[in-house]
DNA sequence: CAGCATCCCGGCGGATACTG
DNA sequence: CAGTATCCGCCGGGATGCTG
């Protein structure tokens, strides 16, 4: 039994032609994960959770972000309806950013996630150490 | 007042030399966000939430993933202590993947997130439509 | 079946310069 | 101050081929 030549032909039936496999069922999660995925969205949300901020204040509140990524990120958040922008036409110009109702809600969800990571950060760090000794060099 | 030549010199005080700006305060969230960020981790977690799966079953359960990304993703999840792997040395070989206790906990957190996105997907879609008409072409 | 090794491309995001 | 425009390097991840 267990001839190595048999299972070579047992076709994998690779989910037969799924084109782009766009989830179909669940999704909508993708949009959320995309925001969570990029480097800055969450940080900006967290900063705005403390209240309305101007562009410069926001930049200062999110250490390391470039002006470009700040504009791009805020624009994406605005597009998704998480953030609102108010422009005061003065010299020098002023622009205020604040969370929308949905933004606040999202902020709460993020906070819950932060809670989870706080409760498990030691366990994760430990797991990584173990992995490093058992599989040195990998990843 | 409001002379346009004055504020040109008011140095931005660009968060003075933060090297890599590694958060310092919060963090641990970065690790979690990194898992949420990549394209497949969440999908694999969701698939494993339904129970133990073999490599091939997992591949079938996550439509669109390549064998390479499946190995890479599972390995990362194992490294972080979210997934366990059991190898049965037989011909043909068999490998089982299952969530750890922490993995189950994480799976729950993800489920909460999925809930949020389900409750707001319409609102997000609507916001995007509005944005598209008001700012055609951007993003 | 369950992987590892290699090649390669797209786009995310950093750095820099310019404008109202 | 609050952006916009441009250039560019890096790496996440797809496709393919080979092994135990």
> Does at least one atom of strand C sit less than 7 Å from the CB of A38?
yes
Task: Cite the beta strand spans of chain B per DSSP E.
Answer: 53-54, 83-88, 94-99
Residues of chain B with C-beta less than 8 angstroms from the C-beta of A60: 13, 15
Which chain B residues are closer than 8 Å to A135 by Cβ? 79
Measured in angstroms, the CA of A68 and the nearest CA of chain B are apart by 13
Mean pLDDT for chain A overall: 84
pLDDT tens-digit series, residues B70-104: 999 999 999 999 999 999 999 999 999 999 999 99
**Confidence (pLDDT) at A28:** 75
pTM of the predicted protein model = 0.85
pLDDT given for residue B12 in this prediction:
36
Interhelix angle A67-79/B101-134, rounded to 10 degrees, is 90
**pLDDT-wise least confident of A75-84, A116-125, B19-28, B38-47:** B19-28
Residue A6 has pLDDT above 60, yes or no: no
Q: Predicted confidence band at A30 (pLDDT cuts at 50, 70, 90)?
A: confident
Q: Do B13 and A126 touch (CB under 8 A)?
A: no
Rounded to the nearest angstrom, the minimum Cα separation between A83 and chain B is 11
Residue A119 banded pLDDT, cuts 50, 70, 90: very high
CA angle A59, A61, A65 (to 5 degrees): 45
List of residues 6+ apart from A119 with CB closer than 8 A: none
């Amino acid at each position: 039994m267990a001839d190595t030549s048999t299972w070579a032909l047992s076709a994998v039936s690779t989910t037969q032609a799924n084109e782009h496999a766009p989830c179909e069922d669940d999704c909508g999660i993708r949009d959320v994960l995309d925001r969570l995925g990029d480097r800055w969205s969450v940080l900006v949300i967290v900063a705005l959770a403390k209240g309305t901020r101007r562009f410069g204040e926001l930049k200062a509140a999110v250490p390391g972000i470039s002006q470009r990524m700040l504009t791009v990120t805020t624009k994406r958040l605005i597009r998704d309806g998480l953030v609102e922008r108010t422009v005061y036409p003065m010299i020098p110009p002023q622009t205020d950013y604040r969370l929308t109702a949905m933004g606040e809600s999202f902020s709460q969800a993020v906070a819950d996630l932060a809670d989870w990571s706080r409760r498990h950060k030691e366990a994760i760090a430990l797991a990584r150490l173990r992995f490093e000794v058992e599989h040195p060099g990998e990843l």
